[in-house]
A and B are shown apart, each in its own frame.
Chain A
Amino acid sequence: MDSNVTSSTFGDSTQGPGADHSPLAAGQVIDGFRLEEKLHIGGMAALWRVTEVAHEGQPRLPLIMKVPRIKGGEDPATIVGFEVEQMIMPMLGGPHVPKFIAKGDFTRQPYIVMERVPGVSLKPRLDAAPLPIDEVIEIGSRVAVALHDLHRQHVVHLDIKPSNILFREDGTAVLCDFGLSRHEHLPDLLDEEFTLPMGTGPYMSPEQVQYVRNDPRSDLFALGVMLYHFTTGERPFGAPDNVRGLRRRLWVEPVPPRTLRKECPPWLQEVILKCLEVKPERRYPSAAQLALDLQDPMQITLTARAERLQKSGTLRTFKRWFFSLGAEPVREAATMAEQLERSPIVMAAVDVENASSELLERLRETVQRIVQSEPGARLACLSVMRTARIGMDELVDRDGRSKHVKQLVGLKHWARPIRKALKLDEGRLTFHVIEAPDAAAAIVDFAQRNQVDQVVMGARGTSGLRRYLGSVSSQVVAEAGCTVTVVRVGRAAGGEEAASS
């Protein structure tokens, strides 16, 4: 069934057998870019390797030019999809998208010149599915990180599938093809143009089937479909080619992955089925929260999803079908930015060993207040176990292990009142004890890797340690890419003094 991968794109209503009318030929120069070699012809566009004619010295990047295929007369699907990509790509940045270089408009020769990301897409890996579990997790984690970066730039991809995912040499996932995407701050040309759901059949989220085009969690559904496929070798919802077939996913549950593959751990089934929830609010609230779970699977809270070994019975499926009738989602319920803002990852860096009990309490109060104000927030509690720069091996001995456990126990104990007060459930609270010689660097690194939105930590105050080692918090404030709140125990007045940067 994997030969079926290039499933049709809905909304491409006029796709026909028309020829490629583009008269482009190798050697031709368009706006300073010389066409060197045609790399690929897809249904919607041709890709050319190009070089910059006037660029002096070393070429800055390997480049490709994407040229839409105009299939005779008006072809709204190709043209509008390409227009959308031309609008969105120049607004994107960062390592998880191809770098945009130039574009040409439809009054002359439409094209987009962008960085050529080396390497192949994930598509060939579908043929190898089921993949080793470790690879599935690796893919899921890298793609989730890339998705969160895209969502933070106000874009929902809406066509996440293996052929649109590439990896840089260092393993960074790169998302491409924004022809069906939606930018929150730009007119949605596709919504205006078409009356069919848009996306790729196997990967389309239920809300996309119902014409919702602004929910970042739609991309998490598509990622869930990919992870399901890579884990089991099968598609969770087949490859329907009509709207009726697409709508079935509103009420028919996928076969639980563990039924198809025994080695699938319960926590991975939990993650996949959570991504595949029909209602977006039952999925992960953000891609970063999914990535965080995949980093540390042992901490995933297992629910009934993890244990499910068969699809729901006929009666329950009938109920789901019945309630799906007429249950069209409310559009524009929240903006993309609001969805992400409501689901921040807050990290509490707690020095359980050395901090005073007063500071620990102040820290707890502050963290509780922050997490309380955002019902979608997720709290990661981190404690750094300082290791000597030399003699690392002593940590693996029994003494090291027991230190690790002791610190974890201390951390959990610290967070207990927060857990109780806020009823943090379903994996909204996780604990991480990491071993590193430099606490500040470890905190900054953890925050960056896990796309943490806010770090809350205590200041060492006037302790002797600070004089010795310098201030950890000031280093974190200086180096972290996110908001850092430093909690202090007030001096004479005993009041709290919290500084944010």
Chain B
Amino acid sequence: MRTALITDLHANREAVEAVLAHAGGQRIDAWVLLGDFVGYGADPAWVVDIVIDLVRQGAVAVQGNHDAAVVRGAAPGMRPDARYVIEWTRSRLSAEQIAFLDSLPLSVTDGDRLYVHANAWHPPGWEYVAGRSDAMRSMMATDCRYTFLGHMHDPRLYNLSSTGKIGDFVPTAGVAIPVPPHRQWLVVPGSAGQPRDGNPAACYAVFDDAAGTLTYHRVPYDHDATGAKILAANLPQRLASRLEDGQ
């Protein structure tokens, strides 16, 4: 079975469209959406509708911190621009759309796989898996062989050997990486809607359990159009310019 893993869509319609079109050519059997459907971008309603649609067709979706914030209102520690966007986003969503975001689970376990937005040790705390030690902590907190995370916007692949050695790796797009089950793997597909590794192309990944491989993809999209919408919506200018730089 081939599973597409898409995360941190951040109300970026053009990126999501491009990713779905690319994945359309990848013989995908199952869809997993790892949270943060809204925030930053100018098309929250469109993106949430797409997620609702995919979930109706059997996709798995978990809640991200931006989704939770839109449901409950901005958290005190949030950066001002993020806070502003959260309030703006709330004003753009219908009651049903907000109810859908509210209904999402924080994590889903499916056999030997764990899907969660931020980390395995305490999902509602939204702490980041920012390096090897966090990845180790997250893998130690679950029995699942494969953990799929969002929250971190840069694509990464961590693995934990049976001797407790941890490795991290910056994947190359388009290469099928063998991920055999005798190791534990932590997969960060990278953000579809707001890439930050200097490459503006949208990220997602495909896990093929029969072949035992994971492939990261990068999909170029019209970020100029996305940026123009962000500016037209009077959202912070920085949210537009960073898409072009992939920062």
| A positions within 8 Å CB-CB of B | 74, 76, 79-80, 83, 86-87, 90, 105-107, 184-189, 191-193
Contacts and interface: CB of A to CB of B under 8 A. Distances in A.
Contact of A106 (B165, B167, B177, B182): B182
A184 B171 CA distance: 10
A187 B167 contact: yes
A240 B157 CA distance: 36
12 contacts: A74-B162, A105-B180, A184-B172, A186-B175, A186-B177, A187-B167, A187-B169, A187-B177, A188-B167, A188-B169, A189-B159, A193-B165
Interface string B203-243: 00000000010000000000000000000000000000000
Contacts of A79: 162
Given A185-B175, A191-B167, A76 B161 contact: yes
A105 B179 CA distance: 10
Nearest first, the 3 closest Cβ-Cβ pairs linking A and B are A192-B167, A187-B169, A106-B182
A186 B169 CA distance: 8
Given A189-B159, A192-B167, 17 more contacts: A76-B161, A76-B163, A76-B165, A80-B161, A105-B182, A107-B180, A107-B181, A185-B177, A186-B175, A186-B178, A187-B157, A187-B159, A188-B169, A192-B159, A192-B161, A193-B163, A193-B165
Contacts of B168: 187
Provide the main secondary structure of the chain B interface: loop
Interface of B: 157, 159, 161-163, 165-169, 171-172, 175, 177-178, 180-182, 212
Contacts of A192: 159, 161, 165-167
A185 B157 contact: no
B173 to A, nearest CB: 9
Contacts of A191: 167
A86 B213 CA distance: 12
Contacts of A193: 161, 163, 165
Nearest to A187: B169
B109 to A, nearest CB: 20
B11 to A, nearest CB: 32
A187 B216 CA distance: 13
Contacts of B162: 74, 79
Contact of A105 (B167, B169, B181): B181
Contacts of B178: 86-87, 90, 186
A106 B179 CA distance: 12
Contacts of A189: 159, 161, 167
A125 B168 CA distance: 41
Contacts of A90: 178
B145 to A, nearest CB: 10
A74 B163 contact: yes
Contacts of A74: 162-163
A50 to B, nearest CB: 21
Contacts of A86: 178, 180
Contacts of B212: 105
B12 to A, nearest CB: 27
B165 to A, nearest CB: 5
Nearest to A90: B178
A79 B157 CA distance: 20
Contacts of B177: 87, 185-187
A187 B177 CA distance: 8
B167 A107 contact: no
Nearest to B181: A107
Nearest to A80: B161
A192 B183 CA distance: 13
A15 to B, nearest CB: 15
B215 to A, nearest CB: 11
A86 B178 CA distance: 9
